[in-house]
Amino acid sequence: MSLEQRVVQAFERRFAASPDFVVRAPGRVNLIGEHTDYNDGFVLPMAIDRAIWIALRPRDDDEVHVHSLEFSDSISFPLDALENTKSGWSEYLKGVAWSLQEAGYALQGWEGVVAGDVPRGAGLSSSAALELAAARAFACAAPALPWAPKEIARLCQRAENEWVGVQCGIMDQMISAAGQADHALLIDCRSLETEAVPLPPGTVAVVLDTATRRGLVDSLYNERRAQCEAAAAFFGVPALRDVSVEQFRARAQALDEVKRRRARHVVTENARTVRAVEMMRRGDADALGRLMDASHASLRDDFEVSSDELDQMVACARREEGCYGARMTGAGFGGSAVALVDEDAAEAFAEAVAACYRAATGIAPAVTICTATAGAEVVAGKG
């Protein structure tokens, strides 16, 4: 049974009626452009066919009642007295409600059932998917809330930054809001302009989940952000986005060693991401793969956000026939890698990489051949 069918069926059991709306919002995999979003730079993610689904109907009052199939847990809260308990999946929904209301939108209550298949902690943005699905649900229940993907992405990011307390950039919310089927999305994280680019013909993205999850990711992430901001201040610019590779080379020697390496990653990664789009437009899978390989090295050596398992996974992937390139994806410190692979070789690739990784680490990975999907949408609904 599909997730859509599951949330609809669970809704019908719970409320003895059909839902008025079904919404979905996808997770994502980032092809290249890592740790560049909070430096106002470029990212190139695609929305994947793993998503959060909500079946819902509006309520007459201002209460939200939601049951989660994954957590076998029901929550409820009033929209006019939101309370932050700082734990649990309901804070993502409350945070979105808070942020939308702060922006001046009048919301209405709703009740529904949520389920999803975006693995948590795998670097595939399960939290952004939940936020965008919640925002879509609020927009269905309160038609006065227009669906403007960029604005909603910003408000969901604010929910995560200020309500949930994670200092993420804009990438995950943007791609979950604005993803396009069969395309990756180049996002300029300063202007939020986007450009849809297809993968080179005959290739697919394969997500390689190391099945390792690290603690302290938030504090390590915030430390990287602070180092980048300090490096931008050294160059006298608002963000590292404003430093070209040439400008970096000319002045980097005067930066302290750690900040120099952090900045070198961001500056070169921005250049690689822009270049990656050119290579995709040319359909040059070899060149795109080499840029992904270089991105991994830079994240491992200069930005220091890889892990032994991620390095091992990437090594296993690159050995295989049909692999153009591979790199860690997302914040790092565990989670997933992504490989660009010949479509015809993908099944054999997936099996071989899983076996290689298992033999090297003793850990069973999760390998998924992905298709690029649309961003958050109403898949069924009244009017």
Question: Closest CB to ligand GLA among 36 and 68?
Answer: 36
Which of 11, 21, 38, 234 forms a contact with ligand GLA (CB under 6 A)?
38
- Under rule CB under 6 A, residue 217 binds ligand GLA: no
Q: Is residue 320 involved in binding ligand GLA (CB under 6 A)?
A: no
Identify whether 172 is a catalytic site residue. Answer: yes
User: Does the protein bind ligand GLA through residue 189 (CB under 6 A)?
Assistant: no
Size, binding site for ligand GLA by CB under 6 A: 10
CB of residue 303 vs ligand GLA: minimum separation in angstroms?
10
Only one of the segments 31-39, 54-62, 148-156, 205-213 lies at the binding site for ligand GLA (rule: CB under 6 A); that segment is: 31-39
Q: Which of 37, 40, 172, 342 is catalytic?
A: 172
Least Å from the CB of residue 230 to ligand GLA = 17
Report if residue 168 touches ligand GLA, rule: CB under 6 A.
yes
One residue of 20, 40, 111, 172 binding ligand GLA per CB under 6 A? 172
**293 touching ligand GLA, by CB under 6 A:** no
Per rule CB under 6 A, is residue 261 in the interface with ligand GLA? no
Of the residues 27, 200, 330, 365, which one makes contact with ligand GLA according to CB under 6 A: 330
Task: Rule CB under 6 A: choose which of 20, 34, 111, 131 binds ligand GLA.
Answer: 34
Full 3-state SS string of the chain: CCHHHHHHHHHHHHHCCCCCEEEEEEEEEECCCCCCHHHCCEECEEEEEEEEEEEEEECCCCEEEEEECCCCEEEEEECCCCCCCCCCCHHHHHHHHHHHHHCCCCCCCEEEEEEECCCCCCCCCHHHHHHHHHHHHHHHHCCCCCCCHHHHHHHHHHHHHHHHCCCCCCHHHHHHHHCCCCCEEEEECCCCCEEEECCCCCEEEEEEECCCCCCCHHHHHHHHHHHHHHHHHHHCCCCHHHCCHHHHHHHHHHCCHHHHHHHHHHHHHHHHHHHHHHHHHHCCHHHHHHHHHHHHHHHHHCCCCCCHHHHHHHHHHHHCCCEEEEEECCCCCCCEEEEEEEHHHHHHHHHHHHHHHHHHHCCCCEEEEECECCCCEEEEECC
Which residues form the interface with ligand GLA (CB under 6 A)?
34-35, 37-38, 168-169, 171-172, 330-331
User: Which amino acids are annotated catalytic?
Assistant: 172
